[in-house]
Amino acid sequence: MDEAFSQIQRVENKGKFIKPCPGTPGYVCCGYQIIDFAHGCNLGCTYCALNYYNYARLTVFQNREKLFNELDSIFESRKSVIRFGTGEFTDSLLFEKVFPIYDELIPYISRIKNAVLEIKTKTVNIESLLKIKNHKRIILSWSVGSEWVARNEEKRAPGIQARISAASRIQDAGYKLAFHFDPIILHSGWEEGYKKTIDSIFRKIRPENIIYISLGTLRFVPEMAYILNRMSPECRRGEFIRGTDNKIRYFRPLRTEVYRKVKRYLENYVDENVLYLCMESPTVWEDVFGIKDMDSPQLEKRLDAACINKFGTL
C-alpha cells in the first residue's frame, strides 16, 4: 500500500451515507446530495476546510452495503432528477487506487434513469474509471484555478495541466465533464492566470462535453482565519468582510468584479447557461448574471436542465 495511506482507518459509518448539501443561510445552494463514503484528504491545500473540520486522519467507511440500501430507498420514492456528489468530505478519487468504490457505484447509478453522479477531484487517479464501460449520467469534474495557485497553495496535488490532461482522457472514454473554479484566489496577475487556465482547458476539452462550470471565491468560517497566515503573502490581497452567513469573504463589489471577468473569459467558449455561482448571494447573482431574486430552487432547476440537455431525458 502507498505509504501516504498506511495509517488509513477503516470504520463503519453509523450515520447516514446520503446527506443533503448543507448550504449556508442567505446564499444560493445547488441542492445536490452528498455520498459520504470517506473523510479526509492528504493533498494539503492550504485553504481547505478539511484542515479545520477534524478530518486530518484518512478514514474510509467499509459498510458499503448500507450505502446501497440507502440509495435503493431514495429511488423507490423519488422520480425527479437527483444529483449526487462524492467530493464534500474528501477528494472523490483520493482513495481509488487503494480502496476503490466506483466499480460498484458507477454501474449502480448508471442503471437509475433519474440519477446523476458527479465525481469531483484534483487528482489524476482515473485508470480504474477508464475500465468501466457502463457509465451513463456520470460527470467527472476537476477543481481548477490559476497555475500560480496550484504551485503555491495546492503543492501536493497534480498541476493544472495534468488535471486537464486527465479530463481529456476521461472525455475520450465517453464521460461528461464539469469544472469548478472554486475557490478563486486573488494574487498578482490573477486575471491572466485564470484566463490561461481557461484557454488551456478548451484546447483539449470539447465544450459539448461539459455539463456545467462553477465559480466561487475564497471563503472560510472565522475560526479558520489563521489560514491566511498559512497561505502565500500574495493571497492576502483584497478586502475581506464577514458575510451574512458569518463566513469571511472578499468584499461584495470585489467578488462581483472577479466573477464578471472570469465569466467573460469562459463565454468565449461556452454559453452562460452552463455557468453558475457556488454559495453566493442573490444580490451577486443579479450583479453578475442579471437574474433577479435567484434562490436555491431556481439553481437546482438550472443544473437539472443542464444535465437533461447533455444526458437526455432523466
Q: What integer pLDDT is reported at residue 4 of this predicted model?
A: 62
Alpha carbon of 114 to those of 30, 82, 92, 138, 173: distances in Å? 17, 6, 21, 12, 22
pLDDT tens digits, one per residue of 71-102: 999 998 888 899 999 999 999 999 999 999 99
Q: What integer pLDDT is reported at residue 314 of this predicted model?
A: 66
pLDDT tens digits, one per residue of 212-270: 999 999 999 998 888 888 899 988 888 999 998 899 999 999 999 999 999 999 999 99
Q: What integer pLDDT is reported at residue 56 of this predicted model?
A: 59
Percent of the chain at pLDDT above 90? 83
Mean pLDDT computed over every residue of the chain? 94
Using the predicted structure, report yes or no on whether residue 300 has a pLDDT greater than 80. yes
Side by side, the strands of the sheet bearing 18-20 are 18-20, 33-35, 82-85, 115-121, 138-143, 176-184, 210-217, 275-277
- pLDDT tier for residue 1 given thresholds of 50, 70 and 90: very low
pLDDT tens digits, one per residue of 116-154: 999 999 999 999 999 999 999 999 999 999 999 999 999
pLDDT tens digits, one per residue of 203-222: 999 999 999 999 999 999 99
Q: What integer pLDDT is reported at residue 79 of this predicted model?
A: 81
Domains of the chain: 3-309 (3.80.30.30)
Q: What integer pLDDT is reported at residue 7 of this predicted model?
A: 76
The residue among 76 and 275 whose pLDDT is bigger is: 275
Using the predicted structure, report yes or no on whether residue 50 has a pLDDT greater than 80. yes
Tell me what the mean pLDDT of segment 177-195 comes to: 97
Using the predicted structure, report yes or no on whether residue 175 has a pLDDT greater than 50. yes
Q: What integer pLDDT is reported at residue 51 of this predicted model?
A: 76
- pLDDT tier for residue 55 given thresholds of 50, 70 and 90: low
